[in-house]
Amino acid sequence: MKRVALLGMPNTGKSTLFNRMTGGSARVGNWPGITVELLSSKILLGGEMVEIIDLPGIYDIHGFSEDEQVVRHFLHDNVPDLAIIILNATQIERQLSLLLQLKQYNLNMVVLLNMADESKKFGITIDAAKMSSSLGIPIFLLSAKYGIGYNEAMQSITKALRYSTPGMAEELRTQLQQDAHIEREMTRILQNSVQVPLRLPNNLTTQLDHIMLHPWLGLPIFFGIMYLLFQGIFILGQPLQTGVGDLFGWLREVALAPLVSGLPAILQGLLLDGIYNGVATVAAFIPIIILFFLFMAIVEDTGYLSRAAFLMDALMAKLGLDGRSFVMLLMGFGCNVPALMGTRVMRSRALRLLSMLVIPFSLCSARLQVFVFITAALFAPKSAALVVFSLYLFSFAAAILTALIFKRYFPNSEPFVLELPPYRFPTLRQMLLRGWHEVYHFVHRASKFIIIGVVFVWLLTHYPATAVPAGPDTWAGQIGGWLHPLFKPIGITAELTIALIFGFVAKEIVIGSLAVIYGLSGHALSGELALQLDWVQAYSFMLFTLIYTPCLSTVATLHSESKNTGFTLLSLIWSLAFAWVVSFVFYQGARALGY
């Protein structure tokens, strides 16, 4: 099968193009360094199957970052039949250097000057035909986001694929050091075919940055935006969640219960109280997941994340981190796993490890589900949103404290240099793709983890058969009783202890397992929790859930990214101990104050 590689600098729209070509949903955002793994997809092009590979963005083929090494090794080991080079048309005067570096590899190439819509607004005129003839490579103007120029580009790609790259000579590698040559080439090509106005027009980005990056207003605006975002998710998502929960309850009453009524009681119990209750409770979170990622997609695609890095870098520097660590922390609010992988853009290992140590404290969307459910059950609607927001603040505080404690063991002097992309309007298409992608991911995980998880919980809480379901004599009750001395001082009951054990596998299971433990779902479960717990216990439980190990996937990612078992263990043990201490201080403190 022929292989086509997408190559270019960070944030030039490679993933957007990849998605348009493959119909896939590679994660796209207005932030340099989004593609952290090699994404590939097979599509039909000009009558044959072709493999498209989306490579991480690189500034420089001789660069020193991990991404740049990945690309270099890829090109060396798998010479692509065609390389599609994507350049940002608005920055053509500097991105050309990468093209000239790549040209020396004698690859079969097609060049796409992306973001043609934006460069036009800047008043930059590019004569693609002239540039094409002076380089001897087909060059096209494109807007991958809006699809303008897409068909012509695809035709040319299909045509170019007929003549594959002949193979690469090893000595070409050494030639690549001749940067002076590239410098001269660049000036020659630019003079002929590109006109950039002397001063850029005062555009919207400049005006917006004037407010968003204001020395004194910038940070309050940032926190305001975050607050509104999380409030919005809660206010919009909660009724939707209740609605979906009610729908599942209704389905159970009218359709499922009569359907399985002929089965033995034990099987009925497993199916209805075990699998169905557990899965229904978790499935009710789908609206919140969609909302969360839609909102995150807006923040990411507009280019605001790099601004957040600018605003927070001074504080992060004091913590031994930098602005990029902060952005990864924010991305961790979606899911810790891609955020951990995103630290690959950092060259200093110490900085990377310290960032990876704090990222798991980001309140991810799976933990958000637990908090939304419990706050709705235990707190008045008026204060519920505030309670969830307070947990976000705790999440930041936990990360900051961890960095402060551990920074001396991870000293680094990595330079912080980051490109600031202009503000961009996210397209509806991108947002919907992203939302769909995340829901697919969630459901995929659900089928893997949650069903097995809830079946396990059901078995543990219903066996041995002589015991009262979920009572102290069941296996679950015994484990809970055994661990109780450890959890009693932080106000966590035996039932909640079981849920926490399963939460170690994935936080998505926590509420599902509570549903199984109590044999209730939706409103009934909320009611039962409100009877069993007071708010101090519930908050202590949430603090513990926030701080201890997020999930097995995160642990696995920590290990594969750090390639260091000791570091992984440090992260595990530290978060468990930290969680216990915080919950202990909160619980005993609140009790001592008379709550």
Determine which residue in the list 23, 44, 47, 64 makes contact with other proteins, applying CB under 8 A: 64
Q: How far is CA 34 from the centre of its chain?
A: 9
Question: In terms of CB distance, is 127 or 419 closer to other proteins?
Answer: 419
Question: Of 5-24, which residues contact other proteins (CB under 8 A)?
Answer: 9
Is residue 418 at the binding interface for other proteins, with CB under 8 A as the rule? yes
Q: According to the 3-state scheme, what is the secondary structure of 270-312?
A: HHHHHHHHHHHHHHCCHHHHHHHHHHHHHHHHHCHHHHHHHHH
Determine which residue in the list 419, 467, 523, 567 makes contact with other proteins, applying CB under 8 A: 419
Could you please report the per-residue DSSP string of 73-110?
HHHHHS--SEEEEEEEGGGHHHHHHHHHHHHTTT--EE
Question: In terms of CB distance, is 77 or 216 closer to other proteins?
Answer: 216
Q: How far is CA 10 from the centre of its chain?
A: 17
Rg of the chain on CA atoms, in Å? 27
Question: In terms of CB distance, is 418 or 582 closer to other proteins?
Answer: 418
Is residue 423 at the binding interface for other proteins, with CB under 8 A as the rule? no
Is residue 465 at the binding interface for other proteins, with CB under 8 A as the rule? no
Is residue 311 at the binding interface for other proteins, with CB under 8 A as the rule? yes
Q: What is the pattern of x (binds other proteins, CB under 8 A) and - over residues 288-307? A: ------------------x-
Is residue 463 at the binding interface for other proteins, with CB under 8 A as the rule? no
Minimal distance, residue 206 CB to other proteins, in Å? 8
- Does an H or E element contain 119, and which? helix 116-121
Is residue 55 at the binding interface for other proteins, with CB under 8 A as the rule? no
Cα separation of 115 and 148, whole Å? Answer: 10
Tokens of 277: 């209750």
Determine which residue in the list 63, 232, 269, 338 makes contact with other proteins, applying CB under 8 A: 63
Residues 6+ apart with CB under 8 A from 321: 351, 354, 355, 358, 403, 407
Residue 39 pairs with which residues in a beta bridge? 54
Residues 6+ apart with CB under 8 A from 331: 296, 300, 305, 338, 339, 342, 362
Cα separation of 15 and 432, whole Å? Answer: 15
Residue 391's closest CA among 237, 259, 583? Answer: 583
Is residue 315 at the binding interface for other proteins, with CB under 8 A as the rule? yes
Is residue 317 at the binding interface for other proteins, with CB under 8 A as the rule? yes
Is residue 90 at the binding interface for other proteins, with CB under 8 A as the rule? yes
Determine which residue in the list 31, 59, 248, 276 makes contact with other proteins, applying CB under 8 A: 59
Residue 499's closest CA among 448, 548, 442? Answer: 548
Is residue 60 at the binding interface for other proteins, with CB under 8 A as the rule? yes
Is residue 416 at the binding interface for other proteins, with CB under 8 A as the rule? yes
Residues 512 and 493 sit within 8 Å (Cβ to Cβ): no
Question: In terms of CB distance, is 210 or 591 closer to other proteins?
Answer: 210
Is residue 105 at the binding interface for other proteins, with CB under 8 A as the rule? no
Is residue 422 at the binding interface for other proteins, with CB under 8 A as the rule? yes
Is residue 484 at the binding interface for other proteins, with CB under 8 A as the rule? no
How many residues touch other proteins under the rule CB under 8 A: the total is 41
Is residue 254 at the binding interface for other proteins, with CB under 8 A as the rule? no
Q: How crowded is residue 278: how many other Cβ atoms within 10 Å of its Cβ?
A: 27
Minimal distance, residue 209 CB to other proteins, in Å? 8
Question: In terms of CB distance, is 167 or 415 closer to other proteins?
Answer: 415
Question: In terms of CB distance, is 124 or 492 closer to other proteins?
Answer: 124
Q: How far is CA 40 from the centre of its chain?
A: 19
Residues 406 and 355 sit within 8 Å (Cβ to Cβ): no
Is residue 217 at the binding interface for other proteins, with CB under 8 A as the rule? no
Minimal distance, residue 343 CB to other proteins, in Å? 17
Angle, in degrees to the nearest 10, between helices 323-331 and 304-318? 120
Is residue 320 at the binding interface for other proteins, with CB under 8 A as the rule? no
Residue 280 pairs with which residues in a beta bridge? none
Residue 275's closest CA among 506, 529, 516? Answer: 516
Cα separation of 4 and 21, whole Å? Answer: 11
Question: In terms of CB distance, is 94 or 448 closer to other proteins?
Answer: 94
Is residue 215 at the binding interface for other proteins, with CB under 8 A as the rule? yes
Is residue 195 at the binding interface for other proteins, with CB under 8 A as the rule? no
Minimal distance, residue 216 CB to other proteins, in Å? 7
Determine which residue in the list 154, 176, 196, 432 makes contact with other proteins, applying CB under 8 A: 196
Q: How crowded is residue 47: how many other Cβ atoms within 10 Å of its Cβ?
A: 6
Question: In terms of CB distance, is 235 or 314 closer to other proteins?
Answer: 314
Residues 6+ apart with CB under 8 A from 436: 25
Minimal distance, residue 60 CB to other proteins, in Å? 4
Query: Which one of 208-216, 224-232, 252-260, 279-287 is the stretch in contact with other proteins (CB under 8 A)?
Result: 208-216
Is residue 126 at the binding interface for other proteins, with CB under 8 A as the rule? no
Is residue 221 at the binding interface for other proteins, with CB under 8 A as the rule? no
Residue numbers at the binding site for other proteins (CB under 8 A): 9, 59-60, 62-64, 90-91, 93-94, 97-98, 122, 124, 179, 196, 200, 209, 213, 215-216, 218, 306, 309-311, 313-315, 317, 322-323, 347, 415-422
